[in-house]
A and B are shown apart, each in its own frame.
Chain A
């Protein structure tokens, strides 16, 4: 890096203080294919974020009708027709693993595309920078206003702008809570002051972080705070696409006038600084790959415009792999783009990613909506009754994961001569199987006693089976053991 370059993001003058003052960034407005793509991604991301909680989804009378809902109070996660219970959390873990490998895949194929287009920090920073340009004007007007004294008009503009920031931040923070409760209800409660305190606290915290990180921290989050750029440097290789200044074509740089006067032929770069002016993180791409570059490609748009004005071919700054950069520098042909993207590394990432996805879909199709689990009493392990029979106590949980009440039969499998009864029955009503009602979307917890008569009582392995008696059916079993004094040294 060049210490004297005034365009650097941080002040690296060697008159070192304890801190580096942030150099304000005033990106100029630009247009081009990448800018338009960025608009589209931004619109999509914001629409998904703000719109999703308001999508309705009919699940019948026993479940909420919100399409995407993280119901922490009842420990349910709803995602369209999928309902996840806490014990199925591995689906969420699988999604997170897919998201992680997806990032690897995207990074090794197209570089820091996540950073440049889809990261929330990028999306909201971009949004706030549009607000800056809308209220204060483009880059030069913003710089002028920044340097202007604090007159009433400047104060008014600043207050207005920060008010807009705050409004966006509030809408952002406020939207988050709707993923965790019924959105229309929560909205009504929110405005009437009857929502849960955590809703207000969450909104407050996220409003503040959005206001602060999006409005003021901006590129410093990417440069100083975010670990992902550091990890990405390990994910990138010589075949990953990065935004590259083709210095062999551009250097030595000089304006058109300077080129006319120069005794030696100059490169294509006319040193118009447009690539620096449009950069949302305030770097100079011509210094090569650097951590501040989020590969948003706005400099490509800016440079292409400049090149077309002076009648030179586009792509002085362009998406290019390190390998291709070497080839091009030597005048060789670059690798075709498809060959760059579909190479063993990306294909392996894709295979792993897709395998997890397919496995999860398979599991989703196979999963049982009915479940029995049994915990045997350990103290006392068994109880001798007065007629010599032996009783064991169990805590049985019947899980009905359907959104409707079901009739089930809990039965003994094994334990000849044995019978079961619950703590809601009398001991002399014990039977081999019990018919039970399990309410919709709940786990019914039962105290079940199994009794073996004196003559038959001996330690044994057996199982509780549960079978749904309605037309859909379904069954499950849970193995456990029966304990008696025999074999217990008593």
Chain B
């Protein structure tokens, strides 16, 4: 039980507890300290009244200020949108190929595109836009359809192989093996030829036979020397970059069955400003090409006026 006493040395009363001979003096708090404590209590009561504080069965008490964390977030998002409104309007008013004329606007577009890319594109193209098998690496200098900003924008807007979109990117490679156009042996010969022109194999009898088959079947799209054709999305075959793989097995599969990659038409999914920003971002990744020399006004079919890039 409490054993209060007056401590001799200080003349102060003890609190009455004792632990192994150690006692505690009952020195009073300074008054301002006490008032601070009372003020904290008053503040806490006021806080509980005006802000959501007390947990109930379904949610907390609402609080008279009507503050909610969702509401606060909505306000912040609105403020952020408002602060971006000017830039977005400027981007909306600028044709995509003119974005580069204003470095500040281009910078804003690239940063906006970086954010949009992380939400919409990384699933296929990867966080660093380095692509994967079947999904192009956007950092390099090899483009199926063209690497200037307007062409990238066109590809983004209309997608690849999107039904119902007249301007969509559509390449049609026959399934040479599966559809019986070439025999399995002929396919192997073509593969040999392609591996020779891309510098992966030494010339061989198979490759010579393949060159002939290539000239008969492939040059229409891929060009006499395998240089590709961006108008029809035919990849360059003589370079070091392979979308699906340049080894014999993968090439055999590609020639036999053909490949039909797809990409959504982002124009139908995102607002025009975001698509423009994505184009600016992809163009900025290191492989972006300069706009082609002034060409006649491009008409609906983009292939009509755009000369193949002399890369």
Contacts and interface: CB of A to CB of B under 8 A. Distances in A.
B10 A1 contact: yes
B286 A386 contact: no
A22 B30 contact: yes
B239 A220 contact: no
Nearest to B127: A379
Contact of B26 (A16, A217, A391, A454): A16
B241 A386 contact: yes
B240 A384 contact: yes
A224 B139 contact: no
Contacts of A16: 13, 26, 28
Nearest to A217: B32
A383 B130 contact: yes
Contacts of A379: 126-128, 130
A376 to B, nearest CB: 12
Interface string A382-413: 01111110010100000000000000000000
B6 interface: yes
Contacts of B32: 22, 217, 220
Contacts of B127: 379
A19 B28 contact: yes
A185 interface: no
Nearest to A4: B11
A385 B141 contact: yes
A393 B286 contact: yes
Nearest to B236: A386
A12 interface: yes
A385 B29 contact: no
Contacts of B142: 385-386
Nearest to B9: A1
A85 B147 CA distance: 41
B140 A384 contact: yes
Interface string B226-255: 000000000010011100000000000000
Given A1-B10, A14-B12, A386-B140, A19 B236 contact: no
A12 B29 contact: no
A85 B189 CA distance: 65
Contacts of A387: 239-240
B59 to A, nearest CB: 35
Contacts of B286: 383, 391, 393, 423, 449
A423 B34 CA distance: 64
Contacts of B311: 386
A454 B30 contact: no
B137 interface: yes
Interface string B201-244: 00000000000000000000000000000000000100111000
Given A14-B11, A387-B240, A423-B286, A224 B28 contact: no
Contacts of B199: 388
Contact of B6 (A14, A377, A427): A14
B298 to A, nearest CB: 24
Contact of A377 (B28, B29, B128): B128
A489 interface: no
A380 B239 CA distance: 20
Contact of B31 (A20, A383, A391, A449): A20
Contacts of A20: 27-31
A44 to B, nearest CB: 31
Interface in B151-201: 199
A449 B284 CA distance: 12
Contact of A12 (B12, B236, B241, B284): B12
A377 B311 CA distance: 26
B33 interface: yes
Contacts of A384: 137, 140, 240-241
Contacts of B139: 380, 383, 391, 393
Contact of A19 (B13, B33, B128, B137): B33
Nearest to B290: A426
A147 interface: no
A83 to B, nearest CB: 28
A354 interface: no
Contacts of A377: 128
A136 to B, nearest CB: 22
A3 B9 CA distance: 10
Interface string A217-237: 100100010000000000000
B239 A386 contact: yes
24 contacts: A1-B10, A1-B11, A2-B11, A12-B11, A14-B12, A16-B28, A18-B29, A19-B30, A19-B33, A224-B30, A379-B126, A380-B128, A380-B129, A380-B137, A383-B130, A383-B286, A384-B241, A387-B239, A387-B240, A391-B286, A393-B139, A423-B286, A426-B290, A449-B286
Interface of B: 6, 10-13, 26-34, 126-130, 137, 139-142, 199, 236, 239-241, 284, 286-287, 290, 311
Closest 9 CB pairs of A and B: A379-B128, A380-B130, A386-B239, A3-B11, A388-B240, A19-B31, A20-B28, A383-B139, A386-B142
